[in-house]
Amino acid sequence: MKRIAIDMDEVIADAENRFFEWYEKDYGIKIPMEKLHCRHFPEIVDEQHMTIVKKYPWKEGFFKDLGVIKGSQEVISELVKKYEIFITTAAMEFPNSLVHKLEWLNKYFPYISWQNIVFCGDKSIIHADYMIDDSVRHFKRFTGQGILFTAPHNINVDWNPRVNSWKEVGDMFL
Amino acid sequence: MKRIAIDMDEVIADAENRFFEWYEKDYGIKIPMEKLHCRHFPEIVDEQHMTIVKKYPWKEGFFKDLGVIKGSQEVISELVKKYEIFITTAAMEFPNSLVHKLEWLNKYFPYISWQNIVFCGDKSIIHADYMIDDSVRHFKRFTGQGILFTAPHNINVDWNPRVNSWKEVGDMFL
């Protein structure tokens, strides 16, 4: 059975939207989603707010009850019938994220066993046939096939294969 | 650079001793360490206590500030100069362990980057050349070389190579 490693943030969990929420709450400024084109959130705010915004992911609660990326639940519930599915997320950078990420997975992907969840840093440690991720840096030393999941920040990144939605993941694997 | 994956409990962290501590605190019974020969702790207590004792690792604080296995700090501080060292622990089974395990690593192994820490379940996801672990079950689907680290529960397990101490790990790799 082939194995697929699937990232969390910007692939199944909408962490980017948490930036928009917290920024509006802290500064009363509602930034249009379109501004994110080719960039990460801290790059699109006023320069004076940048340092604080960059630290959001380290703050308690940032990863708590994030939105679910459209289609991920349905497609992954089919993928588990044909592939070994592992959720592989670089959570170690954000110690406050660990418990919230695990709770989130148990809530939205209850059919993924704790055996198949990996919190790591450098993803070259992952042994899998495919890796679906929004960051090509994780593909550099990965021995399987990296598949770039489109997110606003990676629109102009050159990588093939790329998938633009969970529908496209389903078309590729099912 | 070759990569070594190193387990935590019973390899660098003394989780077994926490069983002895908590059991004595709960029941006032001090069990001699020798009784552990070829067995895990819940197997050596009175049958009426077994169910509660088995659940200890799921309770808050079980993995907090465990003792350090003798020699591990010194040898690993040398290993990192010649090998890529990853700490790979099946922490996902025990959600309450996540934060305590990370704090413990930062305290006792501050030179191990968050990039090189992996909390997982099924260790067949680990891509490494060697894995030092006290459970042979993790070696079954591992594509590298499993090295059994002696612990009371695995004394009679048939596996080669086996190391009995961190001194022996040093002799093997340095």
Q: How far apart are CA A160 and CA B53, in angstroms?
A: 52
What was the pLDDT predicted at B164?
98
Residues 6+ apart with CB under 8 A from B168: none
| Residue B15, CA atoms < 13 Å, CB-side half-sphere | 25
What was the pLDDT predicted at B1?
95
Mean pLDDT of chain B: 97
B121–A114: do the CB atoms touch at under 8 Å?
Answer: yes
Domains in chain B with CATH codes: 3-14+66-173 (3.40.50.1000), 16-58 (no CATH)
What was the pLDDT predicted at A110?
97
Radius of gyration from C-alpha coordinates of chain B: 16
Beta strands of chain B (E only): which ranges?
Answer: 3-6, 13-14, 67-68, 84-89, 117-119, 130-133, 145-149, 162-163
Q: Average pLDDT, stretch B166-174? A: 98
Under DSSP, is residue A149 helix (H, G, I), strand (E, B) or coil? strand
What was the pLDDT predicted at A163?
98
Active site includes A129? no
What was the pLDDT predicted at A172?
98
Contact by Cβ (8 Å): A148, A136: yes
Q: What is the DSSP-derived secondary structure letter of residue B156? A: T
* Stretch 78-107 of chain B: residues touching chain A, C-beta under 8 Å: 86, 88, 91-93, 95, 98-99, 102
Q: At A30, is the pLDDT very low, low, confident or very high (cuts 50, 70, 90)?
A: very high
Q: How far apart are CA B69 and CA B13, in angstroms?
A: 5
Secondary structure string (H, E, C) spanning B92-133? HHCCCHHHHHHHHHHHHCCCCCHHHEEECCCHHHECCCEEEE
What was the pLDDT predicted at A46?
93
- Beta bridge pairs of residue A148: A133, A162
Q: At B171, is the pLDDT very low, low, confident or very high (cuts 50, 70, 90)?
A: very high
Active site includes A171? no
Q: Average pLDDT, stretch B15-42? A: 95
Strands A145-149 and A130-133: parallel
* pLDDT tens, residue by residue, B68-96: 999 999 999 999 999 999 999 999 999 99
- How far, CA to CA in Å, does A87 sit from each of A3, A72, A74, B9, B146? 11, 12, 15, 23, 24
B119–A118: do the CB atoms touch at under 8 Å?
Answer: yes
Residues of chain B contacting A121 with CB distance shorter than 8 Å: 113-118
What was the pLDDT predicted at A104?
98
Q: What is the ipTM metric for this complex?
A: 0.95
Comparing CB atoms, the residue among B95, B118, B121 nearest residue A120 is B118
Comparing CB atoms, the residue among B91, B92, B127 nearest residue A127 is B127
Q: What is the DSSP-derived secondary structure letter of residue B69? A: P
Q: At B5, is the pLDDT very low, low, confident or very high (cuts 50, 70, 90)?
A: very high
* pLDDT tens, residue by residue, B47-74: 999 999 999 999 999 999 999 999 999 9
Residue of B nearest to A98 (CA): B98
Least confident stretch, A66-80, A126-140, A156-170, B30-44: B30-44
Q: What share of chain B is helix, strand, coil (3-state, %, to 5)?
A: 45, 15, 40
Mean pLDDT of chain A: 97
Q: At B128, is the pLDDT very low, low, confident or very high (cuts 50, 70, 90)?
A: very high
